[in-house]
């Protein structure tokens, strides 16, 4: 499949003066829903991937191949530009290079590489650490070398604001910008003063992680400060888990299948599975 056009769409978004909330997706159907209702970008996070693929918490148990395979399934279902959380790049700088190669092949439009010390090192339980800035810079440079399609967006990411403070987060952002990343993703930024400080320190586009509440929900304000992506959390997956539990519980309790509420209609399922397309292909290729 030809992935470049969706990457060009993502890059075009970064060149605008708007900020968007990406749709949190986790499989082909959720990605199609996000695309059909008008989301400009999808986001596939490492935490949601761990839940969807392993049924495990976000403890860096997922492998690169498992993550890349699910990203590919999402991407081939439509043409929604997909931003993915590539965590720490699944190892050191050489692993980061490999991570970018695999995720580019899987069709992602953009990816983030973070500088958190992952997976949890022995003897550090209850704490979260970031790598040295020098090691973080090495990872960013390796990510850029791993990129073959120049339209792929490579973003640096740091959670240093909530670990070492905002000044350290900004220093990392500047260092990764100097290394050549296309954008910078920050978590732990929650006030207008924080946003102003980050915005004033960098020239590249900014992404913010979080729940999308407070200042991070004010897209007009953020857009004027070079913020192009502001996450709203990953509620769709949690809602899907709740709906599945409620439906199975109702069936287990004896509710007749015909009386189960909250189901997608047959017409909706036909649309989201592209039923008309498959009917047309069936007639074209199988109706001898």
Q: How far apart are CA 288 and CA 282, in angstroms?
A: 10
Nearest CA among 11, 17, 21, 10 for reference residue 231: 21
H/E element holding 184? strand 183-186
Residue-range domain boundaries for the chain:
4-239
For every residue of 74-135, DSSP letters joined together read HHHT----EEEE-TT-SSSHHHHHHHHHHHHHTT-SEEEEE-B--S--TT-TT---B--HHH
Please report the pLDDT score of residue 53 as a whole number: 97
Q: Is residue 139 within 8 Å of residue 116, measured between CB atoms?
A: no
The total number of residues written for the chain in this structure: 288
Please report the pLDDT score of residue 211 as a whole number: 83
Question: Model pTM?
Answer: 0.96
Total Cβ atoms within 10 A of residue 120: 15
For each of the chain's 288 residues, which pLDDT tens digit applies? Answer: 899 999 999 999 999 999 999 999 999 999 999 999 999 999 999 999 999 999 999 999 999 999 999 999 999 999 999 999 999 999 999 999 999 999 999 999 999 999 999 999 999 999 999 999 999 999 999 999 999 999 999 999 999 999 999 999 999 999 999 999 999 999 999 999 999 999 999 999 999 998 888 999 999 999 999 999 999 999 999 999 999 999 999 999 999 999 999 999 999 999 999 999 999 999 999 987
| Domain range 4-239, CATH architecture | Alpha-Beta Barrel (3.20)
């Amino acid at each position: 499949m030809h992935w470049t056009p969706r990457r060009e769409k993502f890059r075009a978004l970064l060149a605008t003066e708007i900020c968007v909330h990406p749709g949190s997706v986790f499989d082909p159907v959720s990605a199609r829903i996000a695309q059909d209702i008008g989301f400009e970008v999808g986001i596939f996070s490492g935490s949601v991937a761990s839940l969807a693929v392993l049924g495990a918490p976000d403890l860096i148990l997922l492998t690169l191949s498992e993550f890349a395979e699910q990203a590919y399934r999402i991407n081939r279902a439509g043409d929604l530009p997909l931003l993915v959380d590539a965590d720490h790049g699944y190892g050191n700088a050489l692993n980061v290079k490999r991570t970018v190669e695999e995720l580019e092949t899987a069709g992602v439009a953009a990816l983030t590489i973070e500088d958190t010390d992952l997976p949890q090192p022995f003897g550090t339980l209850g704490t979260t650490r970031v790598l040295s800035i020098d090691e973080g810079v090495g990872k960013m440079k390796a990510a850029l070398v791993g990129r073959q399609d120049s339209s792929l967006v490579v973003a640096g990411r740091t959670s240093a604001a909530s670990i070492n403070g905002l000044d350290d987060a900004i220093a990392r952002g500047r260092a990764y910008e100097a290394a050549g990343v296309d954008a910078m993703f920050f978590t732990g930024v929650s006030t207008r003063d924080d946003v102003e400080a980050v915005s004033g320190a960098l020239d590249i586009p900014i992404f913010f992680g979080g729940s999308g509440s407070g200042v991070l929900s004010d897209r007009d304000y953020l857009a004027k400060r070079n913020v192009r992506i502001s996450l709203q959390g990953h509620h769709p997956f949690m809602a899907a888990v709740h709906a599945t539990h409620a439906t199975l519980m109702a069936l287990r309790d004896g509710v007749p299948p015909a009386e189960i509420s909250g189901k997608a209609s047959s017409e909706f399922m036909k649309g989201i599975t592209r039923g008309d397309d498959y009917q047309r292909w069936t007639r074209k290729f199988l109706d001898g």
